[in-house]
Structure formats: structure tokens, C-alpha cells
Structure 1
């Protein structure tokens, strides 16, 4: 039997990887996919050689962003699956996924289209879908979710909220929360009486023209 084992990354290497991923996420969100690894190194405050050691090219960096996204969603789904009821789990996951999407300025869509599909990302995606399938199944068994709702619907409803967040971030940074709650209540109402919506409705165009912008 081989005695060779995969060594875990040192603490400084873990820190540098996190700095690089966070910097890349920020720059891609601000500038699009034309960002270079040198740009990322400067934003992260590390040497460009450090970036190349972790991510030898832009494809690898984009794949790293996808992996980080799935890691976050899997963690969120694991927390949802551990809650006492499917209703609580599904509501928490939906609101958490919407909150994540509200902060990324459509970055996830661009990155997912551009990044290569790595084995690690695919494995995480399968793990996510299995967890969410279990959460939805529990909620269905409890009669807590609308019939026909599946995990495949989650990206669509998250994108709806992301669209509102993208268009209102400067003028009304928390407006998405009102509409996220509206959607989650429609899919999986809370037990008991519905609570009031948070925030205020957006004014119609032209007064609230942020939503009307193409």
C-alpha cells in the first residue's frame, strides 16, 4: 500500500487562495471576464507568482470561482438539511441562495458559462442536488411546498431576485429582501400566519426607473 498522502494546504496557502478567489470575484463582478491574473494579484495583495501557483491560467481561476460557489451552496444546503423540518430547511436555503445571488452582480451566470467543468465542481453540484432533493422531498411530505416545485426551480427564482438586486443596488440596496420573501412565501409558506412583508414597494417607473432599466 502506498504511504503517499495528499498533504493539506498550509495556513498561509489557504489564506492566499481565499484572498485570490475573493479578489477575482470582486474584479470579475466589476469589470467582466477580461480581468487578468496580474489584476487579480494586485487586488489580492499577493505576488503574481502566488496566483500562478494556485491557478496556472484564467480557466483554472474561473473553475476555482465555480468550485467556491458550489462549496458555499453545499454548506448552505447542509445547514438546511439539518433543520428539524423540511419547511424550515427549504425556506432557509431559498432565502440564503437569494442573498448570495443578490450580492454578485450577475457574476455567477457569466462565470458558469465561461468556466471549464471540472470534476470537483461536478461532484459538488451532484452533492448539492442530492441535498436539495432531500430537503424538497421532506417539505413535500409535510405538505409545506407547492406541488411540482423541484430543486431545478431554485436557480430561476434566485435569478429573479438577483435581477432586482442588480437594478436597485445603488438606490435601494435592501429592496431584494421584500421580493425574496414574497417568492419564498409563495413556494413554501411559513407555518401559521403569514408575517408582513419587509421594506416598502418600489415606486413604479419613471419615479422608480431602476427596475425599468434594460
Structure 2
């Protein structure tokens, strides 16, 4: 099967079933920083925040949680959160606090209509096919015109993730440090797509 055959067989949609959310959690668990060796983290990247099926369903009630499906299996996902979910994941509260300090194009991030993009994850067997960009674009399209920016953070040591995000248009707006390490706050201006 060619790469083009694989790409044409992948579909993108909002997660809608318990099975979708369970598969997201399974893929997340395979790629959590604490599940990978430092070498694997350097080579493949990693995800940080941990979600439950229940939390994902709550998030999906506010904004689409986009999945990539291949033969009915979740092979990638892009989770999204609204600003209203600031307190739902304690590990992300330091990131949200930074949004009140960091500026983008002369304005504080919270002055924009934004959603938090990511975490984004692609199954290791499907990396290098441009799925990250497709997942983010599907999220922006499904979220609609209610938002101006997609904001997320990337661990400074997650060099691969930063490169891929910058390639698709994310810009570094600031940095911060919390108990887990150093982070880039990155912004994707979805008004430009």
C-alpha cells in the first residue's frame, strides 16, 4: 500500500463515541512522557497531560475533539479546550495563568477569542505524513468562526514537537517555567487560514 493510499483512507472527524474516547486515552498512554525513555522522548516527542474518558467527553461537549481514523482505529487526535475549562486539569493551570501575561501582536492572549489546542498526538506508525497539520486544521474548521487563535504550550525539551508546530504556522509568543519544566507558549492565528 502506498503512502497516498494510506492518506486517502484516513478520515478526520469529531470524536463522538465512548470507543473513540477510549482509543484516545490508549494512544495517549502509549505516548506519555512517563511511558517513554528519554531517548524515545528525544526521537519521537511525547505528550504530558493525562485525560480520562469522562474529561474528554466533557471537553467534547464544549468544543470538538478531533480524531484521525484509519480502518476505524484512532491513529491520531487533537484535543481542544475552551478558556472556560481552565480549572479542569490542574497540571495545565500554570499555562492558563501565563495567558494573562503573554502578548501576541500587542495584546494580552486572553484579549483574543481563543481555544487551547493540543495535546496533539499521532500513532508512531503514521508519523511523517502531515497528520498534525490536518488534525489542527480540522479542529479549526469544526470550531468555526468563534475563535481567533489556537494557543498551546510545548515543553522546551520537546524539540520535535516545536519544529512540527512551527512548520505549520505556530509562533512562539512566550516562555515560562513551572514545577514540570520549561515551556514555550505558542500561538496559531487561525484568522489566517
| TM-score > 0.5, shorter chain as reference | no
TM-score (norm 1): 0.28
State which structure, 1 or 2, has the greater radius of gyration over its C-alpha atoms.
Answer: 1
Bigger fraction of residues in strand: 2
